Chain A
């Protein structure tokens, strides 16, 4: 099912930012500094298992349940 990566990224941003525009930017920046560029993934992005594993780990670090 393509788009799983975008769904995971969106969940992380939603949980951490609570809709606050400043926190959306800082959360995206934190993801980029951890090696994931949120803007590179869309609804049609291939489900790369390596990226999905990395996001699971990042979500755990950020205390976000996926």
Chain B
């Protein structure tokens, strides 16, 4: 087989990894990607996964819920194995100390390693032949800086997500080299054997109402004022509610940066003394659209169908699905329906603390589709 997915809810780590390994008996893996609840000891899990597949590049991260072909799970480990029929080559790099790495030196260093591996400059690599993946400590608040630096240095697209910790918001982990890292990010550069796609889907449409961030505190991901008025007041006015009730509308009415038809969602987290704190950075002067929610299951299904046409059969999807989308699906008892969108396609993924594609985004699913 070219790919295989496996999962386990067994504890302890050794039993779970053994079950995953059995699931991969039919594949000679060149790459194994795994995502796991923090119910598993991070260091033990990463070591056990690396030991189980000594001939493969093995990497992953901790989660706030897991996704595997046809299912959304909790307190599990999910994994996908890829043969060399799907992954022609892969290089994995670890960046540590990302919280304090203000100049993106970690990205430059890993990119130099990638250049040695592939024998080509990152700036010259063909973006249609290579694709990158990024897994970031979801508590680092470093995602914007990393994605910005990556975008500066290469045209190769990187897709990924921010690691979770089962909604404890204490410590998240990324996994590679048989180790568990925090305050770190994993970068991988893949040379897929066949055509690939990136899916970015969010279930919102613009309402036509605009808010301009007239004063911000970037470091704290805070907007102090929209349209020269206290941020919370402007937001509440746009939604048609009071400042007090505005948080009830955060999930259904986030803001979005519109780039042509594309929406880059910026999700409010809380109101603090009239200011609004977001789950990602908003730059001063940015014009944002007030969004209104649509149908997550329907929109995701349409996005996958658009990539899964005749003659373009998908070998595997890695799905980085925002935890806010997962919470919305849970609220509406739609997790089974969401899982079924991926029932016929080998899929692995997790509920993230943020999604990456060109930048850091919220309430979105970014996916790497390999054929």
A contacts, CB < 8 Å to B:
16, 22-23, 25-26, 28-30, 32-35, 37, 61-63
Cβ contact within 8 Å between A29 and B259: yes
20 new A-B contacts at CB < 8 Å, known A22-B128, A33-B148: A16-B155, A23-B127, A25-B259, A25-B260, A26-B157, A29-B259, A29-B262, A29-B264, A29-B358, A30-B151, A32-B259, A33-B257, A33-B264, A33-B358, A33-B359, A34-B283, A35-B283, A35-B286, A61-B148, A63-B123
Chain B residue nearest in CB terms to A26: B358
Knowing A26-B157, A26-B358, the reply to whether A32 touches B151 (Cβ < 8 A) is: no
Q: Is the CB of B152 within 8 A of A61?
A: yes
| Residue B287 at the chain A interface, CB threshold 8 Å | yes
Tell me the minimal C-beta distance from B185 to chain A in angstroms. 18
- The answer to whether A32 and B155 touch across the interface, beta carbons within 8 angstroms, is no
B284 within 8 A of A: yes
**Interface size class for chain B?**
20 to 34
**Chain B neighbourhood of A25, CB < 8 A:** 259-260
With the chains together, A30 CA to B149 CA distance in Å?
11
- Does B285 sit within 8 A of A, measured CB to CB? yes
Do B155 and A26 touch across chains, with their CB atoms under 8 A apart? yes
Complex: how many Å from CA A16 to CA B127? 12
What is the bound-complex CA distance between A62 and B155, given in angstroms? Answer: 10
B264 cross-chain contacts in A, Cβ below 8 A:
29, 33
